[in-house]
Structure 1
């Protein structure tokens, strides 16, 4: 009596069994052994997508009743195992590429974290002796600084204190001495505003020099209200400061720009104390010179005016000549190192004809030439005053121009000092 048994073998869903027609093999087995065929489902070769397949292995009994193994079933089982191995081969190939890539990425990440930990500085923890920030600061409280709080660094604050102490010493000098020289201290406009206040409240200093201190046109406003009340100051030196003809804003009219010298002249016009004003080497041009000329027309206390080494040309000389016709208090006029030329000397000569007060005239280095000297000597001959000091050095004067000077000297009884050096006048003159 024969018996049959079935063994369920799982295979990959993607496997193809067309090369091994299991139903045909099984049918031939039953046909050769005359065994009854079990109820099996015929194989459908067209159906590819299935969860699993069932392989049938039949075992028949021998003549003696013992089981007899089917060689055909063993061959079918081996074929199914070989197909399973072929199916897993692509998976192993993919894993051979994916696994090293994952290992590489993980190693790179670990290495980067290690380098970051070594290179990045560790935050410093406050020691037990240091003051720790309050808990409120950690909670997000916003801090603010009140206006006027000193946030300067230690070094800057030290310099600020030293500068303030130095200015206090300067102010003490202004209150203690009659003649104070503060030239080259480089205190600027801010320092001048601080020191000018000392001039307004004391009547001690008579001569003050603020030369070469970096004072600009804006700093001149510091004298507003100070020089009007101070009548003790007689000499004010502002030479060597980069003032120029630059304008400053009018405090009464914000949209109006007042030229520097117009501002200064407004301050000095009613001052009765300043007698000597030194404005040498301040980049003064014709516009500023015209403003000073207007001051000379109204001021009756100024005796000595220095405008050396500036940029005054013909127009500025003309303005000063017009002022000399109206001014009867100026004694000394210094115009050395400017650009008057022959035309400037000619214009100045006309002003000298109607002036009675001028005693000193300094025109060194103006390149007035022979024609300028001739016109100037003609004006001085008609001068109603008495010129005692005349400086005509370095003016490109030749022997022809020097003869005009000689004629003036013959007729003048007031000249005490004459300078003609650095001119090509020759031995004959």
Structure 2
């Protein structure tokens, strides 16, 4: 039988403490199973002795995931010293572990000599500008790390500038997550200027940044020159007309970007003006690389502009739009007709998600008639379709056109067909209800227990 990767998981009430005896048992379970290479300890304080035991056994792991174990700088320093000589660990997740400057310095020193670690997740700690600077210096030397997650720390423009300097010489980092920090235009400009030189970074996450037109203009200018970035995420970032026009120009020149996301949630959105939507839609007409575009908090007029923009586009596969409450959360007849025209003409779009409130029968009829003629769309969702008898009509259409499906989850990589309800807000860990603590072996890829309480999926 093929080898199955498994995860050994320890969950408990935060009030309980993982002692040395428990840790020894965890290590023994890892060492006794050749396929068991991942250890997760979530919501569970770890004693000082237990940390030393884990560090001594680090060579037994490929992935170590410690979520809210209250490690602090001392515990991280112990693990960092073990990393200096470790050759097996590939993924290290130290999330919400109260790591600050001293812990960052210890990790930075380890990164200068370690040649196995590929992914480092430091989500939700207390890393500030000096901490970012220490880790940035390590990036100028390290040549194995491919993913670095700083989501929800305390990094400002100075720290972002230090990381930008590192990006100019680093050639291995593929994904950098700076979401939900205190970075503004100055820091963003430094990072994107570095990407005019850097050719390895593929994914840049800047969710929640306080970016003005100046910062968006710098991003757009970078996109006109950079040929390697394929995924740019700017959730919770407002885009007014000037910023949208700059990005639209970039879309006409960029030939590598495949994913652009400005999608927030119901509490924190990415506002896009009507004129901004029109500018971006115009850019879509000639862009030939973008495959996924997501926006929310747009008006009916803005949605109509995108509908007109995709008529001539030949690369976009996924379009997700959510109308703002100021638009009364509905799609007008005129906008429905624009989407209908697009569906009759566009032959590459496979997923169309129009997240609205109640949709009129007239609008549904217009879209239904267009979908009868469309043979490429495989995912379609609009408003409250599943709550009324129109669902049966669309289902009958599926019987005649098996390529069309109303559930976006049927296509790999698409987003959920359900209307998002605070899908990226903080949630309580699902395993806090288990007490006393328990051990469980299960496949890492399929375990529901492997999920965490990160505020944003991109921070995990």
Q: TM-score w.r.t. structure 2 length?
A: 0.52
Distance in 2, Cα, partners of 1:368 & 1:280:
22
CA distance in 2, matches of 1:169, 1:298: 36
Alpha-carbon deviation of 1:160?
A: 13
Q: Structure 1 residues 199 and 373, CA, compared in 2 at 3 Å: closer, same or farther?
A: same
TM superposition shift of 1:169: 4.8
Q: 1:376: how far off?
A: 1.8
Residue 375 in 1 paired to residue 309 in 2?
no
- Residue 358 (structure 1) aligned with residue 290 (structure 2): yes
Listed one character per residue, the Cα deviations across residues 68-101 of structure 1 (whole Å, up to 9, x for unaligned) are xxxxxxxxxxxxxxxxxxxxxxxxxxxxxxxxxx
Q: Residue in 1 aligned with 2:189?
A: 262
For the residues of structure 2 that align with 1:276 and 1:160, how far apart are their CA atoms?
Answer: 27
Match of 1:226 in 2: 166
For 2:234, the equivalent position in structure 1 comes to: 307
How far apart, in 2, do the equivalents of 1:410 and 1:386 lie? 16
Moved more, 210-219 or 374-383: 374-383
Q: Note the 1:177-216 alignment, pairs <5 A.
A: 177-216=117-156
Quote how far apart the aligned CAs of 1:344 are: 1.1
The answer for the alignment partner of 1:316 in structure 2 is: 243
Decide which of 310, 326, 331 is 1:398's aligned counterpart: 331
User: Which digits, 9 at most, give the CA deviation of each residue in 1:198-251, with x for residues without a partner?
Assistant: 211111111111111111111112124421221111100100011122xxxxxx
Cα distance in 2, alignment partners of residues 260 and 225 from structure 1: 11
Aligned partner of residue 123 in structure 2, secondary structure: coil
- Max radius of gyration: which structure? 1
Tell me if the contact between 1:377 and 1:404 (Cα under 8 Å) persists in the aligned partners: yes
Q: Name the SS for the 1:180 alignment partner.
A: strand
Compared CA separation, residues 393 and 346, structure 1 to 2 (3 A) = same
Residue 325 of structure 1 is matched in structure 2 by 252
Offset at 1:284? 1.5
Counterpart CA distance in 2 for 1:197 and 1:286 is 30
Instruction: Give the conservation status (yes or no) of the 8 Å contact 1:373–1:404.
Output: no
Higher normalized contact order (CA 8 Å, seq sep 6+, divided by chain length): 2
- Alignment size in residue pairs: 257
Instruction: State the 1:353 CA deviation.
Output: 1.6
For the residues of structure 2 that align with 1:405 and 1:169, how far apart are their CA atoms? 55
2:273 alignment partner in structure 1: 341
**1:74-223 alignment, distance < 5 Å:** 166-171=103-108, 172=110, 175=114, 176-223=116-163
Equivalent residues in 2 for 1:27-38 (5 A)? none
Structure 1 distance, partners of 2:148, 2:100, is 20
| Structure 1 contact 393–423 (Cα < 8 Å) conserved | no
The answer to which of 221-230 and 350-359 deviates more is 221-230
Q: Relative to 1, partners in 2 of residues 1:195 and 1:426: Cα closer, same or farther, differing over 3 Å?
A: same
> Could you say which residue in structure 2 is the equivalent of 1:422?
356
- Alpha-carbon distance, 1:311 to partner: 2.5
Aligned CA distance change for structure 1 residues 164 and 299 (closer, same or farther; 3 Å) = closer
Aligned to 1:291: 218
Equivalent residue, structure 2, for 1:88: none
User: What SS class does the counterpart of residue 338 from structure 1 fall into?
Assistant: coil
Preserved CA contact (<8 Å) 1:314 1:339: no
Aligned counterparts of 2:154 and 2:101: Cα–Cα separation in 1 = 17
Q: Distance in 2 between matches of 1:282 and 1:293?
A: 15
Question: Structure 1 or 2: larger strand share?
Answer: 2
SS in 2 for 1:167: helix
3-state SS of 1:392 partner: strand
